[in-house]
Structure 1
């Protein structure tokens, strides 16, 4: 879990969920960011935004 972004594998480990659930979460969070006017990368989610939304410190 290095860098500024999480992948689906990082989300799977962090939330202890399946691959399909991790992709669904990533897609939803990226859609939220797009609606707020941010550019997103498919298959990646900014760590800061993910941790903020899931209240992880």
Structure 2
């Protein structure tokens, strides 16, 4: 994962969390559904790095 990249792929999530790519895709789908419900546009198979860190680790800026 590039440091300046705004989005994470399932491969990126699997690498940083140790979970399978298959589960990472399910997680991305769930998180993207949350963002869509809030009115945000999403990219299939990618999740905002900031949103992932906020929801998964509780990190906020």
TM interval, shorter chain, is: over 0.9
Which SS does the other structure have where 2:11 is aligned? Answer: helix
> Unaligned regions of 5+ residues in structure 2, if any?
none
Query: After the TM superposition, which parts of structure 1 deviate over 6 Å for at least 4 consecutive aligned residues?
Result: none
> Unaligned regions of 5+ residues in structure 1, if any?
none
TM-score (norm 1): 0.92
Q: Whose RCO is larger (CA < 8 A, sep 6+)?
A: 1
TM-score (norm 2): 0.87
Give the alignment's Cα RMSD to 1 decimal: 1.2
